């Protein structure tokens, strides 16, 4: 009998990384590895890193060093870096962080078991030399699907695998293994991005935009439902582009109703929407389809025209407000969240005031604010008209204070609303879940005033009776436990 091998996956960063980790887990379990939760109980600790901004990179390095500290004090024998930071820096990361026994890029994912076994046995695997992954697929989106099989696309694992390859496998089993018991799971809709925002390096290490086949998305969703998942969140770098490389830019509009009809799924959520690519048909589907959350994760980034042009983005305050008015005319209770960058090179006091005008009029449910900092390899890093870091810090603090006040006000507007809450935790601290306007980890949560008879995964109809900042307090309505045809609404 082969020696028992254990592995723990530590995931940092966004929901896309979580999907990638579960694909790696599926591959490893299929090859006989035993998955454990705690890195201290694993022969190999695999850290799925984030390489987006400096703070995320620091968190990734800290996680690798923390895992390395386990060596010699327990079972852990090796620490391996995967994910965006490993892909982006490759050999450079390996040289700067000798504590990592391996730095594996996306091209190593298909052979992850062999790579870990080599490292665990005392061997080494040469860290890759980073390359611009945008060049791996044809420039024309229409030609990409034919080339996709030759390119590593994390989270695009095949479905319809043979019996026994994935847990509870059957005719719809994907190359994926769930790492927690949450009733919510993300599903990769696509990978990469064709936009060229001057502050963002993601396309260079995630590659050009490429969609997954609708059948794969549907099969994976059905499998997740069989695992007890009640809500799926569609993730990619840009969901509004879905289908453009499959010959149908409106493919998302037809896919969403099919996903909502999957037996066991109570809510479908779409994240990462580009304001410049929003179209009437997509708004209609998102606001009128039962079980599809009227939720709009819109990447505004700013609203001053000059700043947006410098970012290579489009729009302005009035156009953005008009878009929000259109959404709310169809679904008054729709949830909207966005992120913003302040202190971008060349941002003037009047630009900042324009952003504040937009925020005051937008009534957003959740707002993320970030101070600009140079990202190597981006066009903005070469700009001359950068603001002093003290100015950026002051503007960040100023807009963050405004954002906190505004989202609290927006939460108070929801008092009296009826919401459908997916229960996610039940313990001595209370019963918590999320309503349709709240995505996991980013948009606040709902505290239910009564938890009698409730369990994780139940959909509860409740009335909002109070707020705690961005969070809501809601009272379950009599006879409201269980699923509802309108659960996503």
Output the 3-class SS for 308-360. HHHCCCCCCHHHHHHHHHHHHHHCCCCEEEEEEEECCCCCCHHHHHHHHHHHH
The pLDDT, as a whole number, for residue 165 is 47
CATH code of the domain containing 219: 3.80.30.20
* CA gap 138, 117 in Å, rounded: 34
Q: What is the pLDDT of residue 485?
A: 42
| 11 and 64 together in one domain | yes
Question: Is residue 212 one of the residues assigned to a domain?
Answer: yes
* Residue 47: other Cβ atoms inside 10 A: 28
What's 424's domain CATH number?
Answer: 2.40.50.140
Question: Is 11 found in the same domain as 70?
Answer: yes
- 200 annotated to a ligand binding site: yes
Q: Is 197 annotated as a binding residue?
A: yes
CB 319: neighbour CB atoms within 10 A? 13
Q: Which of 105, 130, 155 delimits the end of a domain?
A: 130
Q: What is the pLDDT of residue 159?
A: 56
- Among the residue ranges 12-26, 48-62, 284-298, 308-322, the one predicted with the least confidence is 48-62
In this structure, are residues 308 and 291 in contact, taking their beta carbons and an 8 Å threshold?
Answer: no
> Is residue 237 domain-shared with residue 318, that is, in the same domain?
yes
Which residues are bridge partners to 103 per DSSP?
Answer: 81
Residue 484 lies in a domain: no
Same domain, 183 and 68: no
pLDDT over 70 at 167, yes or no: no
CATH of the domain at 112: 3.40.50.12160
Same domain, 220 and 344: yes
Identify whether the C-beta of residue 325 lies closer than 8 Å to the C-beta of residue 285.
no
193 is in an annotated binding site: yes
- pLDDT at residue 266 tops 60: yes
The pLDDT assigned to 66 comes to 86
Q: How many domains does the chain have?
A: 3
Domain shared by 79 and 56, yes or no: yes
The H or E element spanning position 296 is strand 295-297
Kindly state whether residues 450 and 396 are assigned to the same domain: no
What phi and psi values does residue 172 have, to the nearest 5 degrees? Answer: -120, 15
Same domain, 382 and 430: no
Distance from C-alpha of 307 to C-alpha of 345, rounded to nearest angstrom: 8
465 shares its domain with 354:
no
State how far the Cα of 297 lies from the Cα of 286, in Å rounded to an integer: 12
pTM for the whole structure: 0.91
With residue 35 as reference, give the H or E element that holds it: strand 34-35
In-domain check, residue 186: yes
More confident residue, 371 or 126: 371
91/211 same-domain check: no
List the domain range (segments joined by +) for residue 202. 141-413
| 156 pLDDT more than 90 | no
**Does some domain include residue 482?**
no
Structure confidence by residue, pLDDT tens digits, 199-213: 999 999 999 999 999
Phi-psi region of 51 (alpha: psi -120 to 50; beta: other; left: phi over 0): alpha
In whole angstroms, how far apart are CA 380 and each of 204, 307, 343, 368, 375? 14, 11, 12, 20, 8
**284 and 432 part of one domain:** no
Residue 18, in any domain of the structure: yes
Given a cut of 90, is residue 489 above it in pLDDT? no
318-342: pLDDT as tens digits: 999 999 999 999 999 999 999 999 9
84 is in an annotated binding site: yes
Statement to judge: residues 314 and 422 lie in one domain: no
- Angle (CA) 339-341-343 rounded to 5° is 160
């Amino acid at each position: 009998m082969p020696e028992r091998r254990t592995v723990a996956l530590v995931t940092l960063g966004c929901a896309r990384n979580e999907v990638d980790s579960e694909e790696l887990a599926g591959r490893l379990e299929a090859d006989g590895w035993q998955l454990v939760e705690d890195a201290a109980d694993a022969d190999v600790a695999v850290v799925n890193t984030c390489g987006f901004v400096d703070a995320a990179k620091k968190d990734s390095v800290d996680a690798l060093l923390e895992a390395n500290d386990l060596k010699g004090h327990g079972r852990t024998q090796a620490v391996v870096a995967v994910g965006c930071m490993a892909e982006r820096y490759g050999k450079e990361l390996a040289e700067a962080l000798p504590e990592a026994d391996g730095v594996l890029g996306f091209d190593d994912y298909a052979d992850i078991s062999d790579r870990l076994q080599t490292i665990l046995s005392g061997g080494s695997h040469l860290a890759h030399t980073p390359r611009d992954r945008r060049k791996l697929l044809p420039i024309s989106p229409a030609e990409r699907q034919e080339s996709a099989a030759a390119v590593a696309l994390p989270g695009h694992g095949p479905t319809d695998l043979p019996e026994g390859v994935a847990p509870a496998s059957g005719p719809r089993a994907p190359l994926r293994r769930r790492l927690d018991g949450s009733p919510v799971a993300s599903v990769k809709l696509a990978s990469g991005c064709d936009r060229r925002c001057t502050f963002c390096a993601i396309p260079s290490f995630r590659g050009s935009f490429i969609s997954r086949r609708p059948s794969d998305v549907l099969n994976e969703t059905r499998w997740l439902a069989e695992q007890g998942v009640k809500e799926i969140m569609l993730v990619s770098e840009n969901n509004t582009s879905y289908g453009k490389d499959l010959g149908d830019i409106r493919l998302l509009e037809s896919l969403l109703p099919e996903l909502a009809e999957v037996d066991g799924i109570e809510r479908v959520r779409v994240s990462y929407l580009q304001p410049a690519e929003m179209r009437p048909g997509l708004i209609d589907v998102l606001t009128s389809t039962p079980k599809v959350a009227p939720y709009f994760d819109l990447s505004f980034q700013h609203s001053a025209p000059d700043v947006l042009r410098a970012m290579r983005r489009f729009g302005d305050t009035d156009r953005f407000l008009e878009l929000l008015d259109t959404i709310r005319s169809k679904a008054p209770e729709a949830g909207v969240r966005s992120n913003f960058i302040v202190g971008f090179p060349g941002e003037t006091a009047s630009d900042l005031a324009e952003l504040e005008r937009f925020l005051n009029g937008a009534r957003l449910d959740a707002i993320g604010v970030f101070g600009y900092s140079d990202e190597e390899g981006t066009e903005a890093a070469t700009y001359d008209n950068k603001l002093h870091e003290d100015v950026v810090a002051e503007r960040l603090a100023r807009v963050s204070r405004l954002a906190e006040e505004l989202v609290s006000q927006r939460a108070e507007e929801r008092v009296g609303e009826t919401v459908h809450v997916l229960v996610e935790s039940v313990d001595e601290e209370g019963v918590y879940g999320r309503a349709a306007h709240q995505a996991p980890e980013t948009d606040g949560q709902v505290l239910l005033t009564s938890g009698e008879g409730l369990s994780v995964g139940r959909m509860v109809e409740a009335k909002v009776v109070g707020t705690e900042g961005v969070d809501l307090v809601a009272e379950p309505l009599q006879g409201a436990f269980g699923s509802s045809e309108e659960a996503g609404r």
